[in-house]
Structure formats: structure tokens, C-alpha cells
Structure 1
Amino acid sequence: MLDVAERGEVPSFVRGKRALRVAQAIVHDIEADARQIGDRLPPEHDMLARYEVARATLREALRFLELQGVLHLQPGRGGGPVVARPQIGDFTSSLALVLHFVGTDLRALIELREALAPQAASHAARRATAADLMALASCFAELEQQVGSTLFEETNRRFHDLLAWASGNPLFGLLTSALHLLTRDLSRQLGYSEHERENQVRRLARVVHAVRLRDAVTARREMERLVEGSAVYLGQRSPDLMDQKVRWTQAFEA
């Protein structure tokens, strides 16, 4: 239980600090009580007594957790806070806001992809499940048929998402999926020629083969070649666009 007592009016910044502490305590209790996705939290009057705060502070804490995707606040009688599963969009939004204020550009995101993708492919070769391998094979088969289609870019992103999550490391999956959401609009402007798409499909075929054979070294090497070549291609095709800054609104537009 938090050791706080609120009497009368308090400055908003003080209430904000208390609300953050209450939010942390709520997350602790969700875990300690083994609550699952879809479970309701206790009624408001019980939470007020448990955390010893004013209604405004409790509601601010719940709103903060809702913005992070941890809770869903159901309106109306019988509603209230319900445990939710944070989505990729929640993570992307928080990341985009920070990137916006540190002046990150598209080139920096592509450099991060160059660092992440080969390592994710290497881990996927070691850890991918049978279900992961089936999903990758199915997505790659679609990609092969879409070299001349407007669907290529989206399917290509989906393949790389699947590969990152197949690594068994959720950070690879989260960061890769977030990068794709942040760069979706920019990649539409950049785009790949049909020749470059064919090059990527050939490289990805080697990655898929290596992952299937559990050959981590080859999977990493082929993915390195793919992302390095892609970065060079995009930089030469549209150098001005590479300097475009990340904006927080991109997380919502995606």
C-alpha cells in the first residue's frame, strides 16, 4: 500500500507524481494477483481505500495505464478498468514521441534496421518453432508472387516482422515492428524498383533456406547483405528523403 494521504487541493505536478506511484502499484498488484487479459480491477471505492489517494489521482493513474495499453477503461454502469494486452502501436507511439524530440531521421532508423535484422535472422535460425517456419514459408511464397504488385511492400514488411518475432526475443520483434510502422509512409514514397524487389526476394530465399536448416551463420550473412544493399539503394534513390525527421504523428498515421 502506498504511504500517501491527500487532504485538500494539491498542485497538479504533485498529484502527477502520486498518480505515477499509484500506476506502478496497480501494475504490481495486477502481477501479484495473477490477473489475466480481460479481468476487471476492483471497484473504484476499493482502489481508493487500498491506495489511499483522492479520486482525481486514481483516475489519472488509470488513464496513464490506459494510454500505455495496459488497461482498457470500459464506460457506463458495470464498466471500469479491465486488464489489456499492450499492442505494437502503443510501443510505437511512445518510441516515436521520444524520437521526435531527439531529432531522429529516416537514415537513423535504417541504420538501426541494419543492426537488428541480421542478428534477428541468426536467432531465428536457432529458435524458430515449426509454426514460425510455416508462417515464414507461407509469407515468402506470397512475396514471390507480388514482385510486380502494389502489395509487395506490405508483404515484405510482414515477412521481416515474422522473422524478427521468430527470433524468440520479443525486443527484436517489438523494435522491428515499430520501425516498420514508423517508416511505412516514408517507404511508400521511397519504394523499390522491380529489379530491386527481385534482388531482395533472391536474398530472402537464402535467408529462409538458412533458417530452415538452422544455419545461423548463413542466415545472418545473407540478411546483412540484404539490408546493407537496401540501405545503399534507398540512399542513392532519394538522399533528401533520408534526412526527413521522425514525427510523433507518424505512429498514429501508421
Structure 2
Amino acid sequence: MRPRADVTKKTKRALSLAQHIVRDIEAGAHIAGDRLPREDEMLARYDVARATLREALRFLELQGVIHLQLGRGGGPVVARPQTGDFANSLSLILHFMEADLRGLLELREAIAPDVAAYAAQRATTGDLSALADCLKELERNVEGSRFEELNRRFHDLLGWASGNPLFGLLTSAMHLLTREFSHSLGYSAQERAVQLRFLRRVLEAVRTGDSEAARNSMARLVSGSAAYLAERSPELVSQKVRWGHI
């Protein structure tokens, strides 16, 4: 059996190499779809063992930085990490922290009002158009099976409209983490109507640049939604986040 110290040293070398490759991707201004050098070229460039290079590349693939193309002419191809990559890593951490849906709902209550306020200050014409289109779809599907999906999409769009990609990333990741839970719960017709009413108010406040109104309307929406979920399905709210459910 290989001594633990040797395994740890190899892992550190692979991680250091992965970081080096990322810096080279940035320095070379590579974009998604660009091919990286072949394995023999990378071995010569980085002066590492084949096993170390392959471990580094596997690590980058897991993080969504590259994908490994198989077959003749294959090899590492630059990718762009997606929200799902972040959400997957986050769900693994939350799994071991034994976080539950209630914790995610409380996080949403903490940040969603400020996200709406920032969107009121920074939303572009394109953002407003996308939000308005999404709201129209929600109104058409208020009694349909796509209500929860479109509701999440509206909040996602609002997160990215905040002008801060961290808000957009976190909002979208939270929705990926909670999507599995939502399959077990349907909003009542009355709750859907309430949420739609507040979403209209949020959009109007964002459109007019009224950040305080946007914050207040969103605060009432998310706090009311959390109270509804806690009362209707307390056992669901207590369920733990599990890795692999995204």
C-alpha cells in the first residue's frame, strides 16, 4: 500500500498543476471549445508524470473547466463552468453539513430582498424584457404544471439583473438545490395568486427604479412563501440536502 504522505504529495502536485493550467487558459485567452495541447505536449511543457497530468485534467473536468474528448484527435477542450457545476459542489458540502431545506429558505429570505433592490438600480432593458416575458408566461401558467419552474426562472432572471454575478450564481444554484424538493410540493391556487401579485409589484418597482419598493415586495413574498411551506409541509422543510439530487 502506498504511504499516505506519498498520496497527499501526488494530490497536491496534481492540484498545483490544475491551477497552472487554468492560469495558462486565461493567459492564452482561450474560450469554450478551444483545444488544449495534446498529452505529450503538456507532459513536456509542465514536466510532470503522466499520472499527475491525468489527475489534474480529471479534476478540471469535474469542475467544468474542461471536458475530455475521446477518440482520434481528442483531448482536453476548454469549457465554461456552469451554475450546475457550482451547485453540485455546494450540495456535496451541504450534504456533510446536514443542511436542510429550511436553511436554504432562510438564506433566500436574507438575500432575495436586496437582490430585488439592486435589480431596481441596475436592470438593463434586456433584463426588463426578459422579466416581463417570464411574468407573462407565469400568468398563462398560473394553474399549470410549469408554475414552479417559471417562478424559479423569474427569480433567476432577477438575480442576474442585479448586476452582480455572485447574486445571480447563488440564486440560480439555490434553485437547483431546491428543485428536487419542489417536485414533492405543489402551491395551492390561492398561494400561486398571492405570489403572482407580489411578483407583479416587484417587476413594477424594478421597472421604475424604486429599490425600496422592490425590496419590500420581495421581502413579503419570500417570507410569506417560507411560512406557507413550513405550515403546509413541515416534514419536507426538514429534509436534508443530498448530493447527487441536482
TM-score by length of structure 2 reads 0.96
Amino acid at match of 2:163: G
Any stretches of 5+ residues in structure 2 without a counterpart?
none
Q: What is the DSSP-based 3-state SS (H/G/I as helix, E as strand, rest coil) of the residue aligned with 1:250?
A: coil
The runs of at least 4 consecutive aligned structure 1 residues that moved more than 3 Å come to none
Q: Residue 124 of structure 1 aligns to which amino acid in structure 2?
A: A
Match of 1:248, SS state, is coil
Cα distance in 2 between the residues matched to 1:72 and 1:130 = 35
- Aligned partner letter, 1:11: D
Distance in 2, matches of 1:136 and 1:190, equals 25
CA distance in 1, matches of 2:173, 2:245: 11
Structure-2 separation of matches of 1:185 and 1:32: 39
Structure 1 position 234 matched with structure 2 position 225 = no
Q: Residue deviations 1:144-176, cap 9 Å, x none?
A: 121111111111111111111111111111111
Q: Does 1:143 align with 2:138?
A: yes
Deviations 1:196-219 (A, max 9, x none): 000000001000000000111111
1:219 aligns with 2:223: no
Aligned match of 2:57: 62
Q: Percent identity?
A: 66
Q: Secondary structure at the match of 1:81?
A: strand
Whole-angstrom distance in 1 between the partners of 2:33 and 2:27: 16
| Residue 77 of structure 2 corresponds to residue 82 of structure 1 | yes
Q: Name the aligned partner's letter for residue 243 of structure 1.
A: S
- CA distance in 2: counterparts of 1:146 and 1:46, whole angstroms: 54
Matched ranges for 1:239-254 at <5 A: 239-251=234-246
Q: 1:45-60, aligned counterparts within 5 Å? A: 45-60=40-55
Contact 1:113 1:227 in 2 (8 A): yes
Partner of 1:121: 116
Whole-Å Cα distance in 1 between the matches of residues 95 and 180 of structure 2?
16
* In the alignment, structure 1 residue 14 sits paired with structure 2 residue 12: no
Q: How many residues align?
A: 242
Alpha-carbon distance, 1:188 to partner: 2.2
RMSD of the TM alignment (CA)?
1.1
**Residue equivalent to 2:99:** 104
Q: Is the 8 A contact 1:104 1:245 kept in 2?
A: yes
